[in-house]
């Protein structure tokens, strides 16, 4: 990203991308600040990093003061996805497919006794995924359905849908039914299932964690539900950054600037866009121009 950034900086960036706990994120950001080149053209980057570091430290301080261990209490971090369903449907297997978490997976029902949390990274866009203990187990606290942005109801057979119906009333955000273990169905059974889903208008996706079928579609669906765009910042005359800035859909150039840090947009002298929102590469646009997913944005500042 920055001018003449050495490989140490890119290594630090990589470390940061892997960070999961708040302490790791703080350490990663500190390293990026240390390794970033220090001259005028990297001022924006440094400001962004210092701002991020400040926020992480404040968050850590707050968690300490309230006496809550960040491990036991699930703190909502950004977009939150909850996996819920009957025993043995493959919730933990799905968590392992979507995220960095490595939960216990077993043929025995009720193996998951407390909620497990992982981070989904979809091309640089992160979401928190929570694997709840199965319905019917004491650890299955459905209170979390009130804060979840997306609830994935994981079933292994479509007939389980009936038993899950009362739960649907509790869900505030979006939901989708995920029917797992597609690999166990014959082609015929699969066709029938698809037909039932269509005729009953069940919002369902079919997957298999064993063959990977449907997993990419599921990730794509999750990304769509998040209503965000990824934009890639570029400094004049330099290569494009590979870690996106994630902004809400329909954000303007000004809004994206403010996302870098508060007050940044006032410094923008000129903005050049290449990508889906531009008519041609390197198009000059105004502050009210609306950005689209995968735009490359080049800010020229005073
Ligand atoms: N055939 C098949 N088995 C699966 C699939 N997903 C999970 N399983 C198996 O189902 C069992 C329960 O899986 P688990 O993820 O622990 O389910 P959970 O109780 O819902 O968390 C395990 O034996 C898994 O190997 C799948 O897509 N296909
Ligand atoms: Mg489980």
Helix (H) or strand (E) holding 274: strand 268-274
What is the Å distance from ligand 2's center to 110 Cα?
7
pLDDT at residue 96, rounded to an integer: 96
| pLDDT given for residue 69 in this prediction | 44
For residue 161, report the distance from its CA to the centre of ligand 1, in Å: 18
User: Residue 154: what are its φ and ψ, rounded to 5°?
Assistant: -100, 120
User: What average pLDDT does this structure show over 138-147?
Assistant: 84
- The model's confidence at residue 71, banded by pLDDT at 50, 70 and 90, is very low
**For the chain, how are helix, strand and coil distributed in percent, rounded to 5?**
40, 20, 40
**Would you kindly state where each structural domain of the chain is located, as residue ranges?**
1-68, 80-226, 228-302
Mutate-to-test residue for ligand 1 from 84, 87, 90, 193, highest number of ligand atoms within 8 A of CB:
90
Q: Indicate the pLDDT class of residue 73, thresholds 50, 70 and 90.
A: low
Mean pLDDT of 136-160: 87
Q: What is the mean pLDDT of residues 283-299?
A: 97
How far apart, in Å, are the Cα atoms of 134 and each of 149, 154, 169, 297?
Answer: 19, 10, 18, 45
Provide the whole-model pTM.
0.75
Query: Between the ranges 60-64, 105-109, 172-176, 187-191, where is the mean pLDDT highest?
Result: 187-191
Mean pLDDT in residue range 99-108 = 90
What is the pLDDT, as a whole number, of residue 170? Answer: 80
Smallest-distance ligand from the CA of 86: 1
Summarize pLDDT for 253-281 with one digit per residue, the tens: 999 999 998 899 999 999 999 999 999 99
**In the prediction, which pLDDT does 268 show?**
95
- The pair phi, psi for residue 40, each rounded to 5°, is -50, -45
- The CA distance from 210 to 42, in Å, is 46
pLDDT at 120 (0 to 100): 96
Ligand 1 pocket at CB < 6 A: 87-93, 105-107, 111-112, 134, 180-181, 183-184, 208-210
- The fold adopted by the segment(s) 80-226 is Rossmann fold (3.40.50)
Domains 80-226 and 228-302 equal at CATH topology level: no
Segment 231-236 mean pLDDT: 93
CA distance 220 to 127: 13
Superfamily of domain 228-302: Beta-grasp domain (3.10.20.30)
For residue 275, the model assigns a pLDDT of 97
Closest atom of ligand 1 to 96 CA is 15
**Positive or negative: CA dihedral 171, 136, 222, 199:** negative
Structure tokens at 215: 């997993």
| pLDDT at 18 > cutoff 80 | no
């Amino acid at each position: 990203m920055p001018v003449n950034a050495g490989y140490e900086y890119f290594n630090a960036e990589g470390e940061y991308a892997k960070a999961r706990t708040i302490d790791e994120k703080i350490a990663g950001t500190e390293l990026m600040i240390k390794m970033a080149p220090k001259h005028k053209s990297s001022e924006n980057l440094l400001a962004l990093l210092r701002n991020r570091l400040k926020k992480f430290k404040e968050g850590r301080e707050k968690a300490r003061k309230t006496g809550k261990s960040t491990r036991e209490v699930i703190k909502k971090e950004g977009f939150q996805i909850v996996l819920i369903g009957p025993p043995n449907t493959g919730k933990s297997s799905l968590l392992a497919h979507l995220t960095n978490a490595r939960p216990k997976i077993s043929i025995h029902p009720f193996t998951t006794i407390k909620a497990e949390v992982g981070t989904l990274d979809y091309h640089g866009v992160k979401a928190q995924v929570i694997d709840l203990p199965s319905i019917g187990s004491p650890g299955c606290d459905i209170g979390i359905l009130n804060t979840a942005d997306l609830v994935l109801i994981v079933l292994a057979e479509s007939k389980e849908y009936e038993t899950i119906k009362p739960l649907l009333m509790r869900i505030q955000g979006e939901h989708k039914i995920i029917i797992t273990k597609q690999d166990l169905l014959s082609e015929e059974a699969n066709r029938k299932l698809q037909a039932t889903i269509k005729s009953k208008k069940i919002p369902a996706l079919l997957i298999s964690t064993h063959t990977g079928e449907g997993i990419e579609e599921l990730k794509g669906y999750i990304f769509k539900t998040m209503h965000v765009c990824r934009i890639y910042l570029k400094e004049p005359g330099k290569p494009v950054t590979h870690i996106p800035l994630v902004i809400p859909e329909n954000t303007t150039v000004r809004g994206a600037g403010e996302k870098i840090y508060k007050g940044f947009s006032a410094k923008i002298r000129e903005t050049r866009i290449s990508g889906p929102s531009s008519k041609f590469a390197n198009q000059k646009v105004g502050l009210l121009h609306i950005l689209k997913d995968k735009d490359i944005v080049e800010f020229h500042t005073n």
